[in-house]
Amino acid sequence: MGDQVRDWSLLPDEIWAIVGRYIHNSIDLLRFRSVCTSWRNLIPPSHNSTPLLRFNFPFPPYPSLVETFVSETTVYRINLPTLHNPSTSSSSSSFVKGWLIKIEEFERGKFRLLDSLSCRRIKDITSGCENLFDISQLSLTKLTTAYALKYVKGSSSSVLGVNKVVLSPNDCSIFVIYDNGKLGFAQKGEEDITLVDYRILDYNDLTLFRGQPYVVDRWGTVSWIDSSLRVVQYSPPLFGFGDRKHLVVSKSELFVVDRYFDEKSNTSTTPYPDENSINVVEEGGVNFNLFRRHPNRRGRHDFNHPKTVDFKVFKLDEEWGKWIEVKSLGNDVSFVLTYDCCFSISASEFEGFRENCIYFTEQFDMDLALRKLGRLGGCVFSLEDHTIDDLPTTPGYSQIFWPPPIPTRLCTPQM
């Protein structure tokens, strides 16, 4: 009896209606409806979906309202056993290593493929490859979800000055890092952005952890935001002397990745800004606090971007309330730092990925940089020997991402 084949399409419609209540992801819905005509008729394309959040904000330097929407991007691991071995059976496909892909839902039910590192829309797919990309037929494993604030009109490019977007747990509001470090909040239907923290104006990263938004500032202090928009300190300052902090959730633990640049241009001796270091500017009815930054610090929109020369990884000892430097990410673990999200992977599940490494790009303002550089090749940092290599020169590079990025030298040569 265990070998009997059952026709799932013959199950009563009421059972599939119950199943449909638990389908909330748009790609899962698309895959479900692609099975057969009867299943497609049971659940409409807009089933269980909510409209993409839209906002009208006066972002400097634009004094008038700008219509924007929140796009959703999902990172997947895909297995394509037929590309490696056409004779591979479906029963063994789960053991085939996969590729990393990034898919953006820019309208409900409409998707496009993005470069996994730069988040740029991919238009230069090699002729013939586009026919291989049918998400209804692929084995997909969701790794993480990221969000971006984009203009409604035009080419749906990212809003300038918005560095990170996180959707709140209620799915009706967003937290953003904007204007080079301010922490903001916006509720659906509102036409302004609320500055959450008037004291710290130099936040580096934002993520969801344990169902709550967590932020890290340039000094490595991690805080979480409660329902009343109060910023609650979670950790002491890191003071790792790096130039930019990233938050990575791996195996239910929160890590801070400290990035070092070639120029120590932003290492101010001031521990925290005070009231005298804040200017308040009103723009289009919205108050923007401008932090008087260190005079030697490079701006985020400089064409001459600093180059990464080192990383250090830290984890908080919650019992003793102190930071511990992580010398190794452990067997089979690597981190990926992209513009819109940071996440961990199991290196053994991907072809070409190296364990105990950090994969990253150099550019921070990708919307500006990509106009000049196109798709990015990326870099890989080894936590074992602290070396940085161009990703296109590493073994198995072409088997990591799909489609493979165009080789572009962005990394700092090792001395």
Phi, psi of 371 (to 5 degrees): -65, -25
How much is the pTM?
A: 0.76
pLDDT above 70 for 234: yes
Q: What tokens were used for 124? A: 């230069």
Q: What is the pLDDT of residue 278?
A: 39
pLDDT above 50 for 268: no
Q: What is the pLDDT of residue 94?
A: 43
Q: What is the pLDDT of residue 174?
A: 94
User: Measuring CA to CA, how many Å separate 276 from each of 1, 7, 195, 286?
Assistant: 77, 72, 18, 21
- Residue 58 CA to residue 64 CA, distance in Å, equals 5
pLDDT above 80 for 340: yes
Q: What is the pLDDT of residue 137?
A: 64
Looking at per-residue pLDDT, the higher value among 148 and 192 belongs to 148
- Residue 184 CA to residue 194 CA, distance in Å, equals 5
Range of lowest pLDDT (110-124, 136-150, 249-263): 110-124
Q: How many CB atoms lie within 10 A of CB 226?
A: 10
State the average pLDDT over residues 286-306.
44
State the average pLDDT over residues 394-404.
62
The closest alpha carbon to 257, from 247, 249, 265, 267, belongs to 247
Phi, psi of 192 (to 5 degrees): -145, 170
pLDDT above 60 for 300: no
- Residue 94 CA to residue 98 CA, distance in Å, equals 9
- Domain-by-domain residue ranges, the chain? 10-40, 52-81+95-123+132-264+304-397
pLDDT above 90 for 183: yes
- Residue 253 CA to residue 76 CA, distance in Å, equals 21
Q: What is the pLDDT of residue 282?
A: 45
pLDDT above 90 for 292: no
Range of lowest pLDDT (17-26, 71-80, 342-351): 17-26
Q: What is the pLDDT of residue 365?
A: 39
- Residue 185 CA to residue 371 CA, distance in Å, equals 29
Q: How far apart are the first and last CA of the chain?
A: 66
User: By the 8 A CB rule, do 72 and 65 touch?
Assistant: no
Looking at per-residue pLDDT, the higher value among 295 and 228 belongs to 228
Range of lowest pLDDT (38-52, 55-69, 343-357): 38-52
State the average pLDDT over residues 246-254.
95
- Is residue 51 left, alpha or beta, with left meaning phi > 0 and alpha meaning psi from -120 to 50? beta
Q: What is the pLDDT of residue 28?
A: 73
The string of pLDDT tens digits covering residues 60-87 is: 556 667 788 888 898 988 875 544 444 4
The string of pLDDT tens digits covering residues 11-21 is: 777 787 777 77
Percentage of residues in the chain having pLDDT higher than 70: 64
